[in-house]
Structures are given as structure tokens and as C-alpha cells.
Amino acid sequence: MVLNNLDGKMLSKMVIFGARNLTNNVEYVDALNVFPVPDGDTGTNMNLTITSGRKEVELSTSNHVGEVAGIFAKGLLMGARGNSGVILSQLFRGFSRALEGKATVDAKQFAAAFDGGVVTAYKAVMKPVEGTILTVAKDSAKVAVETAEKTDDIIVVMEAVVKEAKASLDRTPDLLPVLKEVGVVDSGGQGLLTVYEGFLAKLKGEELPEGASALSMEELVSAEHHKSVQSHMSTEDIEYGYCTEFMVKFEEDKLNESPFNEEEFRNTLSNHGDSLLVVADDEIVKVHIHAEHPGEVLTYAQKHGSLINMKIENMREQHTTILESDKKTKAKKPKEKANYGVVTVAMGDGIADLFKSLGANEVIKGGQTMNPSTEDIVKSIKEAHAETVFILPNNSNIVMAAKQAAEVADARVIVIPTKTVPQGMAALLSFNPAQSPEENEASMLDGIANVKTGQVTFAVRDTSIDGVEIKENDFMGIADGKIVVSHSDMEKAAQELLSNLIDEDDEIVTIIQGEDASDKDVDALVSYVEEKFEDVEVEVHKGEQPLYAYIISVE
């Protein structure tokens, strides 16, 4: 069939079909609605709008295309409801303007009318949001014009419009992020597509059912479910916990007792939950509902017949399971067990970072006055997730705990008895993942032997150790565990300690600055070392450790 000229009568029929098709799909369009406000009324609004237009057209007897289009546009304008309704009215306002004064139109004029609609619709918006009904109208109008260049057949043009509208609709989630997030296409665009499909059906002489839903129960259910996802973001928010689906096969004797009335049935069920769908024919009624007490729903429905194809799912459980499995896949990526892991103990965030940058897998918080427990160490060994785990305790008080942890842990654990932070670092620097565990142990122990440790801290009481008189709040310089100097001035103590530690073979001095030492203090100390020991290089790191103003390693 070929149609080269469109008259008013045909346009009226197209409008009626378009409106009818939209009416049939109202629930589906509603269910898609997430933008601009996810209130699920796009379909309803568009339907009220187009129904108003349809009524005006039905009252008219004109066979003049321009007149019919004008009447339709006016009806739409008067009945415009919601954003999409207003847009729909604008699209057809532009459409009718393009047809003004024309008794009949050919394919080119018909296509130009779609384009006119888009131009008008875009004019009425400050910031067009793409990925909406506007985009669908624009894309399909463009194709309409292109198609009309090649053919005089209005049906072919309309076919191209429907095809492109569908393709454009499928693209809307890429243009509007909120649609992608929820996984739906634009509701207004879907509404427009159904109108266009109605137009095409009439042009092709196809029939459209009036009143019945053209969509399958499955499509409706999935649309309803997506709505639930929208509104039930957290498990506690699920008001009706059971997704209940069933069919009732009518039985005559039961119907005699309680006759089936679809509207009454629907209203009664709606008191039991939400996301309700009821589709009925003479033999069967299909029901989908989210109810808190599915039993009550079933009992009520059973009055009309026998229950078949029942399915009840606990949505709270499902939701929790989904959340948990999400969490699991995020947290527990199947991690390959590494060959080596290094667990160390440190005080101060700066030192922890230093250790991590040197290759430690786990840094346990602890040190002087704050020793980690065996359990802490075992836990970290587990976290390191390796065949062989080295432990660097960095404190003589923790070495025992580390050895205990080594016995309990599942992995092979080697404790390198480092007693100070510099020893730990030296050991870590000697570690070479390419070597065997035994070789590593040996070279790490060597590493410890090659480093001298100095620490500056303060005395908490008067005492005398190793022949050094110490007063409360004095600063003590400790060289490899032995107090060598005590001074009321921190800088003096540090200087004397360094002089004590450094001999002519040493090349590198690393100063780890603690919480109690200011940058100025450190600068002064560095200058002192550089002046006094010309051959030595000085490095400074911020260790942020408490108690020890300085931790110094000398190699």
C-alpha cells in the first residue's frame, strides 16, 4: 500500500490511534519515569494530554489536514499536564503550524511538519536536556526529512520515524546519566514512540486493541520491579517484603458465590501492598504484588478460583544478599598468595609510611610503651597473605611476641630480631624477593649488623645508668641501646650522641624527625653534622613518632 497524500480524515484517525496506543501503555511509561522527578506519572500526564487532544479531534468533522492538526494542537495545549505533556503539546503545535492552510499534504510536507514540531519545542526551553522526549522527537524528525527526500510514500516516512524513534530511545541512557543509573530508557520518549507507533498502525491499516494492555505481564512486572529498586534503596526501607506472583484460574462454583470484578479485585489487593499489577481475562487473572502478608492476598484471591503458578520471594533477603555479595566482591578480590610478606612494627605515621615505601606489607602500630599483642601480629601475618612472612619487630620488647606469633601463624614466619627502627629499615633494604627465604634471612641479619642506631628521648625520672647521671626531663642520647649522654638541652644531647656514633668508616646518617623536634631543630642538627663530618651524607625523614625526638641511623 502506498499513500502519497494525507487528508484530514486520515490524520484524525492517526491521532485517535496514537492516543489509544499511549493509553494502552500508560502503566509501562509511568514505570519508566525517573526524570525530571521520579514520581512515575509521565505516562499518566502524557495520556491526559493526548486524550484531551483526541477528544477535540473526535468532535471535528473536518477533512482539512491543517484544520485537524490545529484542533489537535489546541486540545493538547488545553489538556497539557506535566513536563512531557507540555512538550508533547509543543511538538504538535509546531507540527500543526507547518500544516497550516493545507488541505492535504504529501510526504515531504508531512516530514517537514515533524521538523517544525521539533523547532518549536526546542524554542520553549532554556536548557534542553538531551536524552529525553525532545531528543527522540529531534532524531526521528531528522530521519523523516531525509526519508521524504527519497520517497513520496507517507507510510515509508512514518515507518522511518518509528524506527528512528525507537533507536533514539535506546540511546537515551547514554545521554542522560540518571537513566543509565537506573537502567531504563526515557519515559517521555517511550510515550512519544507509542504515539508514533499508533500513527503508523493506522496508516498501515492495522488494528489496535482498545483498553487492553499491549504489554506482556513480564514487561510490566520488570518495570514495576525497577520502580521498587528506585524507592527501596536500603533494606529497612522495604515496606512490603514479599514479591508475590500468582494466577487464579476461575472456577464456576466459586464465581457464583463471589463474582469477579476486576476493579474491585484490584482495589482490595491494593490495600495489601504496592507494585500491584492485575491482568484478567475470562478464564484467568494474573497478579503481581509486593505484599507484607502474601498469605492474606492468596486467601482473598482464592475466593474466585484455584491458584496456579505461584511464586513468592522474600525481597528483604534478596536485597540483603545482593548488598552482601556486592560487599564481598568488592572487599575480597581473590588475591593470589604472594611469595613473601613483610610485617613490621612502627610508631608514628611517617615511619609507617617509610616502611611501606620500602616494601613492608603490614605496619602494626606500636613500639616503646605500646607493644602490640601476639594476636595483632598473627592478624597482620594473615593479612600479608604470603607463603613466607618476615617479621621486623623493631623493639626488643616485641621480639618475644613476634616469635610467639610465628609459632601460631599458618604461614612460614621468620622473625628478624630488629630492636630499633633503623635496624628494621636496614633489614628491609637487604631484603631481595628473588632470593630464597634462607638467603634473605642471612642478608637481613647482616643488614642489621651494619647499622648503628641513635635515639634521643627524655628522662622521666632521676637516675644513673651506665655511669651517666640523668635528671628528670633531661634529654638522653642512646646509642644501640646504651645511654651515652644526658643533657638538659635537646640539641646538645643529639650532637653529642652523633659524635659518639659516627666514626671514619660511616657514610650515611639518616635522621628521623619525631613529634618533639621542630624543623628548625633538625636544620641545626643537619648543619652540625655536615660541618663536623665532611664525608657524611645526611638524610632527613619525618617520622612523626612520639617520645623520640630523633631516631638516627648511621651506616
Q: What angle do CA 200, 226, 40 make, to 5 degrees?
A: 65
- Least distance CB 72 / another protein (angstroms): 15
Interaction between residue 233 and another protein (CB under 8 A) = no
Among 57, 86, 136, 448, binds another protein (CB under 8 A): 86
Applying CB under 8 A, which part among 33-41, 230-238, 321-329, 508-516 lies near another protein?
Answer: 33-41
Minimum CB distance to another protein, residue 38 (Å): 8
Smaller CB distance to another protein: residue 74 or 452? 74
Question: Which of the stretches 35-43, 233-241, 243-251, 299-307 binds another protein when contact is defined by CB under 8 A?
Answer: 35-43
Virtual torsion, Cα 398, 403, 405, 408, nearest 10 deg: -160
Return the range that interacts with another protein (CB under 8 A); candidates 32-40, 136-144, 195-203, 465-473: 32-40
Nearest to another protein of 75, 241 (CB atom): 75
Compute the distance between CA of residue 381 and CA of residue 411 in angstroms, rounded to an integer.
Answer: 8
| Cβ atoms 120, 91 nearer than 8 A | yes
- Smallest separation, CB 237 to another protein (Å): 15
Give yes or no for residue 419 binding another protein (CB under 8 A): no
In what order do the strands lie in the sheet containing 362-365?
362-365, 338-346, 386-392, 412-415
Residues 6+ apart with CB under 8 A from 191: 22, 25, 29, 42, 43, 46, 84, 88, 133
Q: Which of 10, 80, 169, 512 binds another protein (CB under 8 A)?
A: 80
What is the distance of C-alpha 373 from the center of its chain?
38
- Which residue stretch of 124-132, 197-205, 263-271, 410-418 sits at the interface with another protein (rule: CB under 8 A)? 124-132
Of 131 and 367, which has the nearer Cβ to another protein? 131
Dump the DSSP string for 9-29.
HHHHHHHHHHHHHHHHTHHHH
Cell of 413: 614466619
Closest contact distance (angstroms) between CB of 323 and another protein is 22
- Contacts with another protein: how many residues (CB under 8 A)? 25
Measured torsion, CA atoms of residues 168, 171, 176, 177, in degrees rounded to the nearest 10: 170
Nearer to another protein, 140 or 423 (CB): 140
Complex with another protein: residue 173 or 543, whichever CB lies closer? 173
Phi, psi of 546 (to 5 degrees): -80, 175
Asked if 125 is part of the footprint of another protein (rule: CB under 8 A), the reply reads yes
Between 130 and 159, how does the x/- string for binding to another protein read (CB under 8 A)?
----x-------------------------
* Contact call for residues 152 and 107 (beta carbons, < 8 A): yes
Residue 311 sits in the site that holds another protein (CB under 8 A): no
CA distance 485 to 467: 10
Closest by CA to 390, choosing from 379, 401, 402, is: 402
The answer to whether residue 36 forms part of the interface with another protein (CB under 8 A) is: yes
Pairwise CA distance, residues 390 & 413, whole Å: 6
Please give the residue ranges that form the binding site for another protein (CB under 8 A): 36-39, 77-78, 80-83, 85-87, 89-90, 93, 120, 122-127, 129, 134
